[in-house]
Chain A
Amino acid sequence: MDFLVAGLSNVFTFESLLAVLIGTLIGIIMGALPGVGPALAIALTLPFTFGMAPETSLILLGSIFSGSVYGGSISAILINTPGTPGNAATSFDGYPMTRKGEGGIALGISAMSSAIGGIISILVLSFFSPLLANIAVHFGAAEQCMLGLLGLSVVSLAADNDFLKGWISAGLGLMLSMVGFDLVTGEERFTFGWDYLYDGLQFIPLMVGLFAITQVLTLAQMKGTISGPGHVSGGFLKGALSALKYRITLIRSALIGVMFGTVPALGLDAAAFFAYITEKRSAKKEAKSFGKGLHRAVVAPEAANNAVVGGSLIPTLALGIPGSAATAVLLGGLIIVGITPGSKLFTEQAGMVGTFFVAMLFAQIAFLLMGLLFARPISKIVTLPNEILLSGILILATAGSFAIRNSLMDVIVCLTFGVIGYIFIKTNFNIVCFVLAFLLGPIIETGFQRALVVSGGSYSIFFTRPISLVLFVLVVLMILYGVIRSRKKDNNVDSSLNM
């Protein structure tokens, strides 16, 4: 742990603390913009760091990374438009809280949960990096496929209201995730000869459409403001303290985030959805109140998505394998300032690594303080008349979708999926299951095909490797549990109708 002590002395300077504050602020603003996200935020700041001292540059990049993941929750909570895909699950209960006039409280819960999730993940990163890096080494293609399937099997729990439609939604998400060039064989699938579809449907325009444009269509049918005739509470501090009541949720969700972060490609979104659904399962009596503005339902995804940050840095730093676009860009930045990933990192470059870790710890505290200062003015956004707000969301969603690849087609996809999302809601299909399957689809398929290549076409690879086998058994159990639960529920409904 000597590297943390060395890092502390580097961060405790005026210049470094200023870099933490500026980096966190940039991260929060960028994260709150739909479609921008951590990868773009880090990439845009990278050129500015070239003239800086290596330590300052590291501090700035680490703070931007943490701040941007938290920033996405602000727009998710206040206007039901997640800034990053990782904040989509936060909007399920965060936005209903805003509608009840508790936007400030939701922001407080989100900031505190994100901070604690982030702190736990960085502590895990600091203490268990070498061990977790060893586990990640054993994750081959078969395990990646099974882990993706395990994530997908969560649909059994997420499709609470209609099991069948939940799985249909997931199936549709999987089918659409296969559009474009097959990642392993290069075969062109479901493109209809249309160039735009060669790279597949892009996740961010699709996600912005499903959440933001659906929200625009809903707002179009409501007069007044999101927060209703009531007032917008401040309540940030109250919310922040309220999050502390859910200690088990915080720790469990943070560990889910670290676990998902450690496995390349699983990422923020999958971790947040998994934590949300796990929380719903463990809530028992309160499970029915999920989606109606429950505090613990905001705590879980926010603690998880910020914990992914630390988890994702484990393979990035220990093995040089970035698990996401954000860590890939960050890795580039780290190499520029002289950090070489690998097993010797924690001994030969201890000071630099320590500086980076401590800066990220400070960033968690910084966004908590910034939330306290700016929550009230920010939450005023929900008092805007719906007619103006929906026009603003429409423009923001359009700009965010366009900014990913500078493509007007991405905007059209975003608007189209907005309408599809609205039809989904009206016909009882499940958007969460659809999104979860869409993002896990490529992970499952790539893992599946690569495993078959490795085994020479034999399916036994999925059942002869211990970790893969354990994951497979968990998948089967999870689906069986969902089926039994759904049947029980149907029987209960039938018996209550016959009474």
Chain B
Amino acid sequence: MHISIPKNSPLMFSIILFISVVSMVFMTTQYNSEARLLPQLVGGTLSILLLVDIVKQMKATKKGETQKSKTVLHPGFEKVLIAMPVYIVLVSILGFLLASAILIFGLPVWLGKREKTPIIVLGSIIWVVVFVMFDVILNVPFPQGILG
């Protein structure tokens, strides 16, 4: 099954943004007068602009000026979308360095790269560069993970 983008996705995105911005403006009523002034001004203006955009898009949909069919996303896109949260979970379990090694060697294979030599050679170089620059030189205290 592949992820597909509905044909009216820009309109849906604008509606989601409109609801979010209006909610933010309502939240500002709890703040003191100085702190709420600019968020209300910006949020109010933004809500109006988003409303204009929504009306504009609805008119365009009626006239048939929008995309005719839904767009099916490339499988590689779905795989990277899945890999990102999995990577974060792996970082918290196995630590940054081990999780990164799994990502750099595993993701290209999952994306369909069949030649193993470039993956091993180039993946090792990238991993070593990241390790040397951030861990050794910059002393970044990367997460060690639960198992680290």
- The stretch of A57-65, A107-115, A285-293, A384-392 that contacts the partner chain: A384-392
Shortest beta-carbon distance, A184 to chain B, in Å?
A: 7
Residue A449 lies at the interface, judged by CB distance under 8 Å to chain B: yes
Q: A189-B39, A220-B79, A419-B81 are in contact. Are A391 and B49 (CB under 8 A)?
A: no
Contacts of B14 in A (CB 8 A): 427
- Give residues of chain A (395-427) contacting chain B, Cβ–Cβ below 8 Å: 395-396, 398-399, 402-403, 406, 408, 411-412, 415, 418-419, 423, 426-427
- The stretch of A96-104, A171-179, A313-321, A323-331 that contacts the partner chain: A171-179
Q: In the bound complex, do residue A403 and residue B53 qualify as a contact, i.e. CB atoms below 8 Å apart? A: no
Q: In the bound complex, do residue B53 and residue A168 qualify as a contact, i.e. CB atoms below 8 Å apart? A: yes
Q: In the bound complex, do residue B38 and residue A172 qualify as a contact, i.e. CB atoms below 8 Å apart? A: no
Q: In the bound complex, do residue B46 and residue A171 qualify as a contact, i.e. CB atoms below 8 Å apart? A: yes
- State which of B36, B103, B123, B140 has its C-beta within 8 Å of the C-beta of A403: B140
Shortest beta-carbon distance, A491 to chain B, in Å?
A: 16
Shortest beta-carbon distance, A260 to chain B, in Å?
A: 23
Q: Which residue of B lies closest to A453 (CB)?
A: B34
Q: In the bound complex, do residue B138 and residue A44 qualify as a contact, i.e. CB atoms below 8 Å apart? A: yes
Q: Which residue of B lies closest to A187 (CB)?
A: B35
Q: In the bound complex, do residue A175 and residue B77 qualify as a contact, i.e. CB atoms below 8 Å apart? A: no
Residue B80 lies at the interface, judged by CB distance under 8 Å to chain A: yes
Q: A395-B130, A403-B134, A448-B38 are in contact. Are A220 and B31 (CB under 8 A)?
A: no
Q: In the bound complex, do residue B119 and residue A388 qualify as a contact, i.e. CB atoms below 8 Å apart? A: yes
Q: In the bound complex, do residue B56 and residue A164 qualify as a contact, i.e. CB atoms below 8 Å apart? A: yes
A313 to B126, CA, bound (A): 36
Q: In the bound complex, do residue A391 and residue B96 qualify as a contact, i.e. CB atoms below 8 Å apart? A: no
Q: In the bound complex, do residue B123 and residue A408 qualify as a contact, i.e. CB atoms below 8 Å apart? A: no
Q: In the bound complex, do residue B9 and residue A388 qualify as a contact, i.e. CB atoms below 8 Å apart? A: no
A428 to B108, CA, bound (A): 30
Q: In the bound complex, do residue B104 and residue A392 qualify as a contact, i.e. CB atoms below 8 Å apart? A: yes
Residue A33 lies at the interface, judged by CB distance under 8 Å to chain B: yes
- State which of A398, A423, A426 has its C-beta within 8 Å of the C-beta of B87: A398
- State which of A221, A406, A419 has its C-beta within 8 Å of the C-beta of B74: A221
Residue B136 lies at the interface, judged by CB distance under 8 Å to chain A: no
Q: In the bound complex, do residue B113 and residue A388 qualify as a contact, i.e. CB atoms below 8 Å apart? A: yes
Q: Which residue of B lies closest to A171 (CB)?
A: B46
B79-104: CB near A (< 8 Å → 1, else 0) gives 11101110110011000100010011
Q: Which residue of A lies closest to B45 (CB)?
A: A171
Q: In the bound complex, do residue B84 and residue A415 qualify as a contact, i.e. CB atoms below 8 Å apart? A: yes
Q: In the bound complex, do residue B35 and residue A394 qualify as a contact, i.e. CB atoms below 8 Å apart? A: no
Shortest beta-carbon distance, A1 to chain B, in Å?
A: 39
- State which of B81, B87, B123 has its C-beta within 8 Å of the C-beta of A388: B123
Q: In the bound complex, do residue B42 and residue A33 qualify as a contact, i.e. CB atoms below 8 Å apart? A: no
A33 to B127, CA, bound (A): 14
- State which of B74, B134, B140 has its C-beta within 8 Å of the C-beta of A220: B74
In the complex, the number of residue pairs spanning A and B with C-beta atoms less than 8 Å apart equals: 163
Contacts of B123 in A (CB 8 A): 388, 391
Contacts of B49 in A (CB 8 A): 164, 167-168, 171
Residue B148 lies at the interface, judged by CB distance under 8 Å to chain A: no
Shortest beta-carbon distance, A446 to chain B, in Å?
A: 10
Q: In the bound complex, do residue A385 and residue B46 qualify as a contact, i.e. CB atoms below 8 Å apart? A: no
Shortest beta-carbon distance, B50 to chain A, in Å?
A: 6
A136 to B36, CA, bound (A): 30
Q: In the bound complex, do residue B88 and residue A411 qualify as a contact, i.e. CB atoms below 8 Å apart? A: yes
Shortest beta-carbon distance, A426 to chain B, in Å?
A: 7
A167 to B113, CA, bound (A): 41
Contacts of B92 in A (CB 8 A): 408
Q: In the bound complex, do residue B118 and residue A385 qualify as a contact, i.e. CB atoms below 8 Å apart? A: yes
A115 to B14, CA, bound (A): 43
A391 to B138, CA, bound (A): 21
Q: In the bound complex, do residue A445 and residue B122 qualify as a contact, i.e. CB atoms below 8 Å apart? A: no
Q: Which residue of A lies closest to B133 (CB)?
A: A33
Residue A498 lies at the interface, judged by CB distance under 8 Å to chain B: no
Q: In the bound complex, do residue A392 and residue B80 qualify as a contact, i.e. CB atoms below 8 Å apart? A: no
Interface centre among B9, B56, B133, by most chain A C-beta atoms within 10 angstroms, is B133
Q: A44-B138, A168-B46 are in contact. Are A387 and B73 (CB under 8 A)?
A: no
A411 to B143, CA, bound (A): 12
Q: A178-B38, A415-B88, A423-B13 are in contact. Are A387 and B103 (CB under 8 A)?
A: no
- State which of B52, B77, B107, B126 has its C-beta within 8 Å of the C-beta of A221: B77
Q: In the bound complex, do residue A178 and residue B39 qualify as a contact, i.e. CB atoms below 8 Å apart? A: yes
Q: A221-B77, A408-B143 are in contact. Are A388 and B42 (CB under 8 A)?
A: no
Residue B19 lies at the interface, judged by CB distance under 8 Å to chain A: no
Q: A174-B42, A391-B104 are in contact. Are A426 and B122 (CB under 8 A)?
A: no
Residue A185 lies at the interface, judged by CB distance under 8 Å to chain B: yes
A24-51: CB near B (< 8 Å → 1, else 0) gives 0000010001001000100010000000
Q: In the bound complex, do residue B88 and residue A408 qualify as a contact, i.e. CB atoms below 8 Å apart? A: yes
A403 to B96, CA, bound (A): 12
Contacts of A175 in B (CB 8 A): 21, 24, 39, 42-43, 46
Q: In the bound complex, do residue A427 and residue B126 qualify as a contact, i.e. CB atoms below 8 Å apart? A: no
Using CB atoms and an 8 Å cutoff, list the residues of chain B in contact with chain A: 5, 9-10, 13-14, 17, 21, 24, 27-28, 31-32, 34-36, 38-39, 42-43, 45-46, 49-50, 52-53, 56, 73-74, 76-77, 79-81, 83-85, 87-88, 91-92, 96, 100, 103-104, 107-108, 111-113, 118-119, 122-123, 126-127, 130, 133-134, 137-138, 140-143
The 9 closest A-B pairs by CB, nearest first: A187-B35, A171-B46, A387-B108, A221-B74, A220-B76, A427-B10, A220-B80, A392-B126, A387-B113
A220-B79, A394-B80, A448-B38 known, 14 other contacts, Cβ within 8 Å: A164-B49, A164-B52, A164-B56, A172-B17, A175-B21, A175-B43, A175-B46, A178-B42, A190-B27, A220-B76, A220-B80, A390-B80, A398-B91, A427-B13
